[in-house]
Chains A and B, each alone.
Chain A
Amino acid sequence: DTGVSQNPRHKITKRGQNVTFRCDPISEHNRLYWYRQTLGQGPEFLTYFQNEAQLEKSRLLSDRFSAERPKGSFSTLEIQRTEQGDSAMYLCASSSDRNTEAFFGQGTRLTVV
């Protein structure tokens, strides 16, 4: 296991379409986080899972956004009816119970045209 894996790396979609991103955390990590980063800004928290339970959701996570982690392993982030303002880098991170250090994936760059 080489780290947190995110797919796809890049996604271009038309406004109004739905998109889904996948994150595979480090295998022994039970905590998984989604962040969004726009140009020139630091990442902003979206949501957090401990195992399969979604424990926190940011107010940034509108009704068009949904995240799941059905078996406590990989996670998906879906954006419905995409808008141009959704264009950003979506980052996934994971950590374990033994250590709060967060490890990030390479991100999924979303462009809504």
Chain B
Amino acid sequence: KQEVTQIPAALSVPEGENLVLNCSFTDSAIYNLQWFRQDPGKGLTSLLLIQSSQREQTSGRLNASLDKSSGRSTLYIAASQPGDSATYLCAVGPGYSTLTFGKGTMLLVSP
């Protein structure tokens, strides 16, 4: 059974810092990995999708990497802003099927 772990569970940083969120998964037989953002009481917003054949994806200040063999992914956020405050979720999937999620990292960026 696939298990996804996200570290840290919570993170508080001052505005402007660069930060890294970690995600690990137990079964490396994945097709894709997706990072999401969730604001309190809201749904999930897709940030980045990495196919298993890729090693990283970038979108604006966000960069996600994937090391499938070691079962790890990182989400790098550059020059953090208060608007980045949210819970960040990592999910892995075998393809056109279900996603297995971690519990998320709750990020607070203070002005």
Contact = CB atoms under 8 A, between A and B. Distances in A.
5 contacts: A45-B100, A56-B98, A99-B49, A101-B46, A103-B46
Contacts, number: 65
Contacts of B46: 101-104
B41 A100 contact: no
Interface of B: 4, 31-32, 34, 36, 41-46, 49, 51, 89, 91, 93, 95-104
A4 B44 CA distance: 11
A45 B98 contact: yes
Given A42-B4, A42-B91, A104 B44 contact: yes
B98 A100 contact: no
Residue of A42, A91, A100 ringed by the most chain B CB atoms within 10 A: A42
B93 A100 contact: yes
A109 B98 contact: no
A42 B98 contact: no
A108 B45 CA distance: 15
Interface of A: 4, 6, 31, 33, 35, 40-45, 48, 50, 55-56, 58, 91, 93, 95, 97, 99-107, 109
Nearest to B98: A45
B97 A102 contact: no
Contact of B43 (A48, A55, A106): A106
Contacts of A41: 103
Q: Which 5 A-B pairs have the closest CB atoms?
A: A42-B101, A104-B44, A106-B43, A45-B98, A101-B49
